[in-house]
Amino acid sequence: MRRLFLLLLAIPLAPAAAQQSAPADAPPPSTAPADKKPLTLDAIYGPEGKVDFSGPMLMGLTWLPDGEHYLARRDGALMAVDALTDEAERAWDADALAAALKESGEFDEAAARRFSRSPGDFTPDRAHVLIEHQDRLYGYSFVDGKLTRFTPDATPRREARLSPKGRLVAYVKDSNLFVADAAGRQTQLTRDGSPTLLNGLLDWVYQEEVYGRGSWAAFWWSADEQSIAYLQLDESAVPSFTLLNQLTTRPAVEQYNYPKPGDPNPKVRLGIVRAAGGPTTWVNMTKYGSQETLIVNACWAPDGKLLYQVQDREQRWLDLNEADPQGGKSRTLIAERTPAWVNRLENPTFLTDGSFLWQSERDGFRHLYHYNRDGRLIRRVTGGDWEVRSLHGVDPKTGWVYFSGTRDSSIEEHAYRVRLDGGPIERLTEPGAWHRANFDPQLRYFFDTFSNVSRPSQVVLRYVDGTPIRTISENKPAALEEYAFGAVEFHRVPTRDGFLMNAMLIKPHDFDPQKKYPVWSLVYGGPQNPIVSNRWGGSGNLLHHYVAQHGYLVWVCDPRSASGAGAISSWHAYRRLGVTELQDLEDGVTWLSLLEYVDPQRVGIWGHSYGGFMTAFALTHSTAFKVGIAVASPTDWRLYDTIYTERYMQTPQNNPEGYDASSAVKAAAELSGKLLLIHGLMDDNVHWQNSEQLMYELQKARRPFDLMIYPRNGHGMQFNSRHWIETRLRYLFDNL
Q: Which of 37, 4, 13 is nearest to 549 (CA)?
A: 37
Q: Is 67 exposed, middle or buried (0-12, 13-18, 19+ CB in 10 A)?
A: middle
Q: Give dist(CA 310, CA 260) in Å, integer.
A: 21
Give yes or no for a contact between 677 and 648, defined as CB atoms under 8 angstroms apart: no
Instruction: Count CB neighbours of 500 within 10 A.
Output: 14
Q: Is 277 exposed, middle or buried (0-12, 13-18, 19+ CB in 10 A)?
A: exposed
H/E stretch holding 102: helix 94-103
Instruction: Count CB neighbours of 177 within 10 A.
Output: 27
Among the residues of 484-606, which ranges form H helices? 538-549, 567-570, 579-593
Phi/psi of residue 231, each to 5°? -95, 140
Q: What is the 3-state secondary structure (H, E, C) of 27-76?
A: CCCCCCCCCCECCCHHHHHCCCCCCCCCCCCCCCCEECCCCCEEEEEECC
Which one is catalytic: 69, 133, 435, 715? 715
Q: Which of 184, 164, 161 is nearest to 172 (CA)?
A: 161
Catalytic residue check, 609: yes
304-to-226, 588, 700 alpha-carbon distances in Å: 10, 53, 62
Q: Give dist(CA 642, CA 257) in Å, integer.
A: 12
Give yes or no for a contact between 428 and 466, defined as CB atoms under 8 angstroms apart: yes
H/E stretch holding 129: strand 128-133
CB-based contacts of 68, cutoff 8 Å, min separation 6: 82, 83, 84, 440
Catalytic residue check, 491: no
Which one is catalytic: 355, 410, 609, 691? 609
Give yes or no for a contact between 502 and 532, defined as CB atoms under 8 angstroms apart: yes
Q: Give dist(CA 617, CA 620) in Å, integer.
A: 5
Q: Give dist(CA 644, CA 622) in Å, integer.
A: 26
Give yes or no for a contact between 189 and 168, defined as CB atoms under 8 angstroms apart: no
CB-based contacts of 101, cutoff 8 Å, min separation 6: 107, 111, 112, 115, 116, 131, 138, 140, 147
In single-letter form, the type of residue at position 227 comes to S
Give yes or no for a contact between 706 and 674, defined as CB atoms under 8 angstroms apart: yes
Catalytic residue check, 572: no
Which one is catalytic: 572, 683, 687, 691? 683
* Catalytic machinery residues: 609, 683, 715
